[in-house]
Amino acid sequence: MTRVALVTGGASGIGRACSEALAKQGVKVVIVDINAAKGQELAQDLGGAFIEADLSKRNGCQTAIEETVRLYGGLDILINNAGFQHIDPIPDFPEDSWDDMLALMLTAPFLLIKYAWPQLIKSGQGRVINIGSAHSLAASPFKAAYVTAKHGLMGLTKVVALEGGEHGLTCNTVCPAYVRTPLVEKQIADQARTRGIRPEEVEEKVFLENVAVKKLLEPSDVANYVAYLCSADAWGITGTAQTMDLGWTAR
Ligand SMILES: NC(=O)c1ccc[n+]([C@@H]2O[C@H](COP(=O)([O-])OP(=O)(O)OC[C@H]3O[C@@H](n4cnc5c(N)ncnc54)[C@H](O)[C@@H]3O)[C@@H](O)[C@H]2O)c1
């Protein structure tokens, strides 16, 4: 039976690479994103579907699941990936950004899992992969909402693993260090401007400062691992943080 996957934030970066890797394995992929132009184009290329939805809103999450089930009759794999960054010290941290980040990066994964639960259980080999971060395990200054949301995902991961286990449902959080995506390319360019140094120096001095392997990950590195965790072979891996952090949290 062809499996069905929903990838949030699938129009760009890690989500895009996950959509491609799963489609390569013969999975029907549903991309959910606010970027309709890019999402539609990719869905067409992959022979899947695109749903435009703002997942920071409860009805966006509901629509995403309902529409997927209407299109393909079920859901086997949920990849909670959509996200963004906001960087400011706590006294200046805009309260709206806190609300927006927790809505998209913590509440939406919970709601999507809740709404998809009957389908994930019916699947018999349901898979939930949350895209966390090294910031699911360690903190950095100026990223209060991001670090909080990514740590929160770990708690959700463990509860879903415990409740889903008897139904063959696994849930894991993949925790990468920096990945070369549009989100990170923009941060590198911004910091190069602010600091008056070359982008290569920003990579080396800022983004790779804490890691043992001095190289940014590529989206496909994360996606190939996600595809493995979605496979039948990974049935025994659940409730875990899967670190791909170039040695960051080994310190
Ligand atoms: N790039 C990294 O270095 C890195 C490292 C660790 C974890 N992550 C995590 O990986 C995930 C993806 O990051 P990325 O670097 O690929 O980013 P990206 O900006 O390339 O892609 C994010 C996607 O999410 C979509 N999105 C944003 N807000 C949305 C909303 N309200 N509703 C629906 N879709 C929305 C965007 O349109 C975009 O397509 C994020 O959760 C991020 O925290 C990224």
Question: Which residues approach ligand 1 with their CB closer than 6 A?
Answer: 9, 11-15, 33-35, 54-56, 81-84, 104, 131, 133, 176, 178-179, 181-184
Does residue 62 fall inside a structural domain?
Answer: yes
User: How many Å apart are CA 157 and CA 110, to the nearest integer?
Assistant: 10
Does residue 248 fall inside a structural domain?
Answer: no
The candidate with the shortest Cα–Cα distance to 164, out of 89, 95, 76, 247, is 76
Render pLDDT for 12-47 as a digit per residue (tens, 0 to 9): 999 999 999 999 999 999 999 999 999 999 999 999
115 and 196 in a common domain? no
pLDDT at 1: 85
User: How many Å apart are CA 148 and CA 36, to the nearest integer?
Assistant: 29
128 and 9 in a common domain? yes
200 and 146 in a common domain? no
150 and 208 in a common domain? no
Render pLDDT for 222-249 as a digit per residue (tens, 0 to 9): 999 999 999 999 999 999 999 999 999 9
DSSP per-residue string spanning 191-223: HHHHHTS-HHHHIIIIITTT-SS-SPBPHHHHH
Nearest atom in ligand 1 to 80's CA: 41
Tell me: pLDDT of 134 over 90. yes
* Contact (Cβ atoms closer than 8 angstroms) between residue 78 and residue 5: yes
Per-residue CA distances from 20 to 13, 15, 50, 217, 227 (Å): 11, 9, 13, 17, 10
Parallel, antiparallel, or unpaired: how do β-strands 49-52 and 28-33 relate? parallel
Tell me how many domains the chain contains: 2
- Residue 12 CA to ligand 1 centre (angstroms): 7
67 and 103 in a common domain? yes
Active site residue 146: yes
Does residue 249 fall inside a structural domain?
Answer: no
- Tell me which of 19, 179, 185 to substitute to probe ligand 1's pocket, judged by most ligand atoms within 8 Å of the beta carbon: 179
pTM: 0.98
Does residue 202 fall inside a structural domain?
Answer: yes
- Residue 237 CA to ligand 1 centre (angstroms): 24
Does residue 251 fall inside a structural domain?
Answer: no
**Active-site residue (options: 146, 178, 225, 228):** 146
* Contact (Cβ atoms closer than 8 angstroms) between residue 222 and residue 241: no
pLDDT at 194: 87
Cα dihedral 150, 152, 154, 157 sign: negative
User: How many Å apart are CA 79 and CA 3, to the nearest integer?
Assistant: 13
CATH code of the domain covering residue 229 = 3.40.50.720
* Contact (Cβ atoms closer than 8 angstroms) between residue 106 and residue 153: yes
* Contact (Cβ atoms closer than 8 angstroms) between residue 81 and residue 30: no
More confident residue, 139 or 190: 139
Does residue 18 fall inside a structural domain?
Answer: yes
Which domain range does residue 162 map to? 4-177+218-243
Tell me: pLDDT of 92 over 90. yes
pLDDT at 38: 98
> Which two structure tokens, joined as six digits, stand for 248?
């960051």
235 and 167 in a common domain? yes
210 and 139 in a common domain? no
Does residue 164 fall inside a structural domain?
Answer: yes
187 and 79 in a common domain? no
